[in-house]
Amino acid sequence: MRWDFWKILQKIKVQPVAETGFVTQTLAREDAVQKSDHIDRAGRQGKKTRVTIKDVALSLGMSKSTVSRALNGYSDIAESTRLKVKRTAHVMGYKPMVQAQAIRTGLVRSLGMVLNADSHDGHRPFLADFIDGISRRASEDNWTLTVSTAPHALGVLSTIERLSNEHSVDGFILPRTRIEDPRVRYLVKANVPFIMFGRTGDDRDCGWYDINAELAMEKAVLRLAGMGHKRIGFINGLTRYMYAKVRLEGYRTGLEKAGLAYDDRLVQIDAVTRKDGERAGGVLLDLSRRPTAIVCAVDLAALGLYKAAAARYLTIGSDLSIISYDGIAEGEYASPPLTSFSVDNRKAGECLADLLIKRIRGAAPETLRQLGEADLIVRASDGPPIIHSE
């Protein structure tokens, strides 16, 4: 009720012009005083004095609006004016303050990514490249990357909520998508832009970038089959993630194309660390009719498998062939060096950033889907089978 009254008062159209003029004067003078005081305080508190758009306008003798439009490429500014404005702005060292822009435009020019800190999975080693890719692409358009971590999946979700509520970022990159992903559910409902690294169960309203890992797995199987292997095992990653699902599919497609039967007993799951790989590998190698080759969905697991093989006096590359996926640096230094599909994480980061920026700018999610490829790095962990009698 009270504010109603004020609203009405506000609407009343006003009073003598002369009076207004005088008031302006007064205010202006007051303003000046305050300004200098402000600078003074600034000096004491260690803040910088920024060049604002007002300063530029003043020094050019134009209005703020003209300067703003000139700088932002509006069509109703004369080319000559634009040039002049741009030059002086540059000379004066004027850089628009992003948050001041943000409050009007609704864009903070920042991409968000929330990492799950407890995920022991592979992503750590290539985090640097991945971030580099994102940041690189983002910088091109003067965007920034805000990264945050959370100790567990729930924390990830609440961090995402916080960041989008406070509008600290314009959209999210979601690494390691699950088949059923709560982050996706939330963001879709909240209508916040995002792009996934990896696919998910229900693609509606989702853009994504992913590596065609199923193709890689398929190629791995076919390569081994081509060498003469008949019993090819598979050690998969965490099955709740989408990547594990598609990699298994790739493995099966490979077997099919090679004319080999799929055998449950040759498949192990949820191996993403050395220890996991050692355990899973042990199981496969202890089978009465053990596989002569094993495809791994994750490099670290493959390295664990090395240990399991060594414990059983099997020589990798001859007694047992291994082809893996990820292309981490350690693989190169294992003995024998690991044959693996390498993924370009920097490129992935770049693509994701690119897609997300497009998404934020309004592109439809259905148009924002890309599949990259992994490259086989042939080293020494695979070869024709040595014991072979079927």
Which residues in this chain contact DNA in the complex, by CB under 7 A?
Answer: 2-3, 6-7, 10, 27, 30-31, 34-35, 38, 50, 52-54, 61-66, 68-69, 71-72, 76-79, 81, 94-97, 100-101, 103-105
User: Which phi and psi angles does 389 have, rounded to 5°?
Assistant: -150, 80
DSSP state of 167: T
Measured from the CB of residue 324, what is the shortest distance to a copy of itself in angstroms? 16
Residues 52-111 contacting a copy of itself, CB under 8 A = 58, 61, 93, 95-100, 102-103, 106, 108, 110
Report if residue 163 touches a copy of itself, rule: CB under 8 A.
yes
Residue type, 263: D
**Which lies closer to DNA via its Cβ, residue 3 or residue 333?**
3
Question: Quick one: which segment of 156-164, 176-184, 246-254, 378-386 binds a copy of itself (CB under 8 A)?
Answer: 156-164
Choose which of 91, 117, 154, 371 interacts with a copy of itself (CB under 8 A): 117
Measured from the CB of residue 330, what is the shortest distance to a copy of itself in angstroms? 6
**Which lies closer to DNA via its Cβ, residue 142 or residue 288?**
142
Which token pair is 130? 């991945």
Measured from the CB of residue 112, what is the shortest distance to DNA in angstroms? 18
**Which lies closer to a copy of itself via its Cβ, residue 176 or residue 290?**
176
Measured from the CB of residue 98, what is the shortest distance to DNA in angstroms? 8
Q: Which of 229, 203, 386 is nearest to 294 (CA)?
A: 229
Instruction: Give the three-state DSSP class for 210.
Output: strand
**Is residue 334 a contact partner of residue 171, using CB atoms and an 8 Å limit?**
no
Residue type, 143: W
Measured between its terminal Cα atoms, the distance across the chain in Å is 91
Which token pair is 120? 């022991």
Q: Which of 109, 188, 163, 138 is nearest to 355 (CA)?
A: 138
**Which lies closer to DNA via its Cβ, residue 65 or residue 335?**
65
**Which lies closer to a copy of itself via its Cβ, residue 151 or residue 226?**
151
In angstroms, rounded to a whole number, what is the distance separating the alpha carbons of residues 4 and 14? 19
Measured from the CB of residue 64, what is the shortest distance to DNA in angstroms? 4
Rounded to 5°, the CA angle 16-20-25 comes to: 150
DSSP state of 106: S
**Which lies closer to a copy of itself via its Cβ, residue 229 or residue 274?**
274
**Which lies closer to DNA via its Cβ, residue 78 or residue 154?**
78
**Is residue 345 a contact partner of residue 210, using CB atoms and an 8 Å limit?**
no
Q: Which of 81, 130, 28 is nearest to 353 (CA)?
A: 130
Which token pair is 79? 């080319």
Question: Quick one: which segment of 3-11, 80-88, 223-231, 315-323 binds a copy of itself (CB under 8 A)?
Answer: 3-11
Choose which of 71, 92, 127, 267 interacts with a copy of itself (CB under 8 A): 127
Report if residue 313 touches a copy of itself, rule: CB under 8 A.
no
Binds 142: which of DNA, a copy of itself, none (CB < 5-8 Å by kind)? a copy of itself
Residue 103's contacts (CB-CB under 8 Å, 6 or more residues apart) are: none
Q: How many of the chain's residues bind a copy of itself (CB under 8 A)? A: 82
Binds 154: which of DNA, a copy of itself, none (CB < 5-8 Å by kind)? none
In angstroms, rounded to a whole number, what is the distance separating the alpha carbons of residues 173 and 197? 7
Torsion of CA 307, 311, 316, 320, to 10 degrees: -110
Site string for a copy of itself, 260-279 (x = CB under 8 A): --------------x-----
**Is residue 111 a contact partner of residue 164, using CB atoms and an 8 Å limit?**
no
Choose which of 184, 211, 360, 374 interacts with a copy of itself (CB under 8 A): 360
Choose which of 36, 75, 80, 191 interacts with a copy of itself (CB under 8 A): 191
Distance of CA 155 to the CA centre of its chain: 18
**Which lies closer to a copy of itself via its Cβ, residue 191 or residue 288?**
191
Binds 360: which of DNA, a copy of itself, none (CB < 5-8 Å by kind)? a copy of itself
Pairing between strand 144-150 and 110-116? parallel
